[in-house]
């Protein structure tokens, strides 16, 4: 049985020393310890002593190993990316607080030791059973495990979870399909289950949403923040000078109305990209940045970095986040940063989560090239009042709840998802029974089953099946019905033969299937469940989409998922 543990002392000892990245993570773990402890108490009450199995978990942080080049650690104090460190620190804390038996490795030597692979023998299959129930790692770590575990990795692969910031779509993950259809990148094609990849934001439900946390406020702090906001104070998002390059025009407009602050790393002199009218504080420790965010009214992004934690921290501290809309959207097809990443996701702004899940008044997304709109928006921001806001899924309780649910319920090791014994007597012709909903312009499947007789997670009672519009992905189709695409329900789609009125039916490996082509009155059935993709879309097809409900503020979990 896993027992919640709020003391982070042993965790801090395990994290180790000797790298700036580890020190950053330890400072964060220490700083947020009290917040995690009170979240653990609340979740414990909520779960009412639910029996939770204690798992043996290995966390191998591949990108921090010397063997992967560790380019991040030397940049921690120089304005380099910290988002990944924020997330790993929070994952470690969540696993520790949930009471699991944790081992942490940041080197190949430690990895070998924990896996019982004899050192110095190159690729060496694990002979005995895997000494862990779960292994959290990243793409670098996965590669290292392949090199050092050899073929035995295949046998143990279902225990692995890959922390993958931007996500991996099924077309890129499926080795054969990726190779044949031009989706092969440096990263993908591991043939994992799509939900074994865990992302920083809920990009596509093909992957599991892992997330991280932002600092929470008590009532007094909230009131103080609202009282002490400086209405004309703006803080620019971007700790590296290059992020400010070419932004003089926007800074000049902003400067007409507001006092501009920055936290840009510099060595001895002000970086030339940062105008002299900007008050640059230099790169700050997280808690000092927090204090600045409490005073600032506006947190403004200029397009890079993409999808980091800082906008959530700003919004949690009562700032309005103003960011550029990307038109056309950025993606691996048209932008260097995303090139080679195993996703075709179209990034519609600097921070699509803030845009789509939070929105106004906390988040304003506009076309920065329209100077009049930009100017008017700054003035509007100075007029409106907003309260600090943090989505539940980014609180410690929300993250603990989600990670708990994954650990206790996600199972990628069972041979096949058990297919419910559907037969024609279970098919309901005529009007759709309750789990199915009708969308304008969509085809409805009238097919039902006795959900209560099977045990699935998420439970089948959450399932809603619908068809997308032509060109629409299942991510969007489910979203427009107030639902979320749920790839675990993909097996249901194998029964579509029962109902689809198609003139022709083809069954193939295609990440867009199952789908219906109106033009040819043809139905395409999915041959390989691994390839089912919530994210896939094509103007030629109406996709058939398994969707589910979700908890308010916790999109990863359906209403009955706890
Ligand atoms: C993202 O990484 P970044 O590190 O660039 O993301 P940010 O949103 O800037 O913030 C990371 C943390 O840096 C902290 C701040 C955030 O938690 O509190 N920080 C700080 O401690 N001191 C300061 O002066 C300013 C910020 C993203 F997360 C990565 O996944 C991407 O690889 C990267 C590139 O898109 O962007």
What's the pLDDT score for residue 164?
A: 97
Closest by Cα among 399, 230, 395, 253 to 320 = 230
For residues 101-108, give the mean pLDDT: 97
What's the pLDDT score for residue 265?
A: 97
| pLDDT more than 90, % of the chain | 77
What's the pLDDT score for residue 105?
A: 97
CB atoms within 10 A of CB 162: 24
What's the pLDDT score for residue 182?
A: 95
What's the pLDDT score for residue 437?
A: 32
Residue whose tokens read 């295949």: 154
- Whether 363 shows a pLDDT value over 70: the answer reads yes
The chain-wide mean pLDDT, for the chain, equals 89
What's the pLDDT score for residue 424?
A: 31
Least confident of 159-163, 214-218, 511-515: 511-515
Check residue 69 and report its DSSP letter: T
The first and second tokens of residue 386, run together, are 């907003």
What's the pLDDT score for residue 418?
A: 40
Convert the pLDDT of each residue in 400-435 to its tens digit.
999 999 999 999 997 654 444 333 333 333 333 333
Least confident of 138-147, 369-378, 429-438: 429-438
- Rounded to the nearest 5°, which phi and psi values hold at 172? -85, -25
- Whether 493 shows a pLDDT value over 80: the answer reads no
Distance CA 369, CA 384 (A): 23
What's the pLDDT score for residue 49?
A: 77
**Atom 27 in ligand 1: which residue has the minimum CA distance?**
308
- Rounded to the nearest 5°, which phi and psi values hold at 328? -70, 160
Check residue 184 and report its DSSP letter: -
Distance CA 299, CA 313 (A): 10
507, containing H or E segment: strand 504-508
Higher pLDDT residue, 129 or 65?
65
**Atom 10 in ligand 1: which residue has the minimum CA distance?**
310
What's the pLDDT score for residue 514?
A: 87
- Whether 128 shows a pLDDT value over 60: the answer reads yes
What's the pLDDT score for residue 452?
A: 40
**Atom 34 in ligand 1: which residue has the minimum CA distance?**
305
Confidence tier at 467 by pLDDT (50, 70, 90): confident
366, containing H or E segment: strand 363-366
What's the pLDDT score for residue 266?
A: 96
For residues 100-124, give the mean pLDDT: 84
Judge whether 140 and 62 are in contact, CB under 8 Å.
yes
The first and second tokens of residue 97, run together, are 């607080």
What's the pLDDT score for residue 198?
A: 98
Residue whose tokens read 């292994």: 135
For residues 176-187, give the mean pLDDT: 95
Confidence tier at 465 by pLDDT (50, 70, 90): confident
Closest by Cα among 310, 294, 299 to 235 = 299
- Whether 125 shows a pLDDT value over 90: the answer reads no
Q: What is the pTM of this model?
A: 0.94
Residue 306 CA, ligand 1 centroid: distance in Å: 9
Residue 75 CA, ligand 1 centroid: distance in Å: 12
Please report the atom of ligand 1 found closest to the CA of residue 282.
Answer: 24
Pocket, ligand 1, Cβ cutoff 6 A: 81-84, 86, 165, 200, 239, 263, 283-284, 286, 289, 305-310, 313
- Whether 216 shows a pLDDT value over 80: the answer reads yes
What's the pLDDT score for residue 519?
A: 82
Rg (CA), the chain: 24
The residue count of the chain comes to 562
The beta strands (E) that lie in 29-95 are given as: 56-60
For residues 32-38, give the mean pLDDT: 98
What's the pLDDT score for residue 423?
A: 34
Distance CA 117, CA 114 (A): 8
Closest by Cα among 440, 447, 449, 458 to 542 = 440
Confidence tier at 340 by pLDDT (50, 70, 90): very high
**Atom 19 in ligand 1: which residue has the minimum CA distance?**
286
The CA-atom distances, in angstroms, between 268 and each of 265, 272, 497 are 10, 12, 69
Please report the atom of ligand 1 found closest to the CA of residue 86.
Answer: 17
Distance CA 456, CA 332 (A): 35
Confidence tier at 365 by pLDDT (50, 70, 90): very high
355-358: long-range contacts (C-beta < 8 A, 24 or more apart)? 355/323, 355/325, 357/202, 357/391, 357/555, 358/315, 358/389, 358/391
Residue 354 CA, ligand 1 centroid: distance in Å: 15
Q: Which of 110-124, 349-363, 498-512 has the highest mean pLDDT?
A: 349-363
Measure CA 189 to chain center: 19
CB atoms within 10 A of CB 435: 16
Least confident of 24-33, 54-63, 121-130, 472-481: 121-130
For residues 145-169, give the mean pLDDT: 92
**Atom 20 in ligand 1: which residue has the minimum CA distance?**
286
- Whether 371 shows a pLDDT value over 60: the answer reads yes
What's the pLDDT score for residue 302?
A: 97
- Helices 219-228 and 286-295 sit at what angle, rounded to 10 degrees? 60
- Whether 518 shows a pLDDT value over 80: the answer reads no
Q: Which of 274, 309, 326 to mutate to test the pocket of ligand 1 (most atoms within 8 A of CB)?
A: 309
The beta strands (E) that lie in 61-183 are given as: 101-105, 134-137, 160-163
- Whether 316 shows a pLDDT value over 70: the answer reads yes
- Whether 439 shows a pLDDT value over 80: the answer reads no
What's the pLDDT score for residue 505?
A: 77
Distance CA 103, CA 109 (A): 13
**Atom 1 in ligand 1: which residue has the minimum CA distance?**
308
Distance CA 545, CA 465 (A): 6
């Amino acid at each position: 049985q896993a027992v919640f543990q709020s003391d982070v002392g042993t965790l801090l000892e395990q994290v180790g020393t000797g790298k700036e990245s580890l020190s950053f993570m330890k400072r964060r773990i220490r700083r947020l310890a009290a917040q995690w402890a009170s979240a653990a108490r609340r979740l414990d009450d909520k779960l009412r002593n639910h029996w939770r199995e204690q798992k043996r978990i290995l966390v191998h942080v591949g990108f921090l190993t010397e063997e992967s080049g560790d380019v991040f650690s030397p940049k921690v104090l120089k304005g380099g990316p910290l988002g990944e460190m924020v997330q790993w620190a929070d994952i470690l804390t969540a696993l520790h607080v949930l009471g699991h038996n944790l081992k942490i490795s940041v080197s190949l030597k430690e990895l070998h030791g924990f896996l019982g692979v004899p050192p110095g023998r190159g690729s060496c299959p694990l002979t005995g059973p895997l000494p862990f129930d779960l292994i959290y790692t990243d793409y670098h770590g996965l590669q290292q495990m392949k090199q050092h575990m050899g073929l035995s990795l295949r046998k143990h692969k279902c225990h692995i979870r890959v922390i993958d910031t931007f996500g991996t779509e099924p077309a890129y993950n499926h080795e054969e399909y990726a190779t044949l259809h031009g989706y092969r990148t440096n990263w993908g094609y591991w043939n994992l289950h799509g939900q074994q990849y865990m992302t920083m934001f809920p990009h596509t439900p093909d992957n599991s949403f892992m997330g991280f946390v932002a600092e929470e406020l008590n009532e007094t702090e909230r009131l103080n923040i609202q009282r002490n906001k400086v209405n004309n104070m703006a803080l620019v998002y971007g700790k590296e000078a290059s992020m400010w390059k070419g932004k003089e025009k926007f800074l000049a407009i902003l400067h007409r109305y507001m006092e501009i602050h920055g936290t840009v790393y510099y060595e001895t002199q002000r970086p030339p990209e940062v105008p002299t009218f900007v008050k640059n504080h230099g790169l700050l420790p997280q808690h000092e940045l927090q204090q600045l965010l409490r005073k600032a009214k506006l947190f403004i992004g200029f397009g890079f970095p993409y999808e980091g934690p800082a906008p959530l921290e700003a919004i949690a501290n009562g700032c309005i986040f103003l960011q550029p809309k990307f038109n056309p959207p950025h993606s691996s097809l048209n932008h260097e940063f995303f090139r080679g990443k195993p996703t075709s996701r179209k990034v519609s702004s600097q921070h699509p989560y803030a845009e789509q899940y939070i929105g106004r008044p906390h988040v304003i997304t506009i076309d920065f090239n329209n100077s009049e709109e930009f100017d008017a928006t700054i003035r509007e921001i100075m007029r409106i009042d907003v309260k600090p806001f943090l989505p539940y899924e980014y609180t410690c309780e929300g993250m603990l709840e989600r990670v708990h649910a994954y650990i206790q319920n996600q199972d990628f090791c069972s041979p096949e998802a058990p297919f419910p014994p559907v037969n024609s007597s279970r098919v309901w012709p005529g009007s759709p029974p309750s789990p199915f909903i009708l969308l304008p312009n969509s085809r409805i499947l009238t097919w039902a089953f006795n959900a209560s007789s099977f045990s699935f997670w998420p439970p089948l009672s959450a399932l809603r099946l619908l068809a997308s519009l032509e060109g629409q992905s299942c991510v969007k189709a489910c979203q427009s019905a107030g639902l979320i695409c749920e790839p675990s329900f993909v097996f249901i789609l194998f029964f579509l033969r029962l109902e689809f009125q198609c003139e022709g039916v083809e069954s193939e490996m295609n990440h867009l299937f199952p789908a219906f082509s109106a033009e040819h009155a043809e139905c395409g059935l999915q041959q390989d469940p691994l390839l089912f993709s919530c994210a896939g879309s094509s103007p030629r097809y109406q996709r058939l989409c398994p969707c589910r409900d979700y908890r308010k503020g916790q999109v990863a979990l359906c209403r009955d998922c706890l």
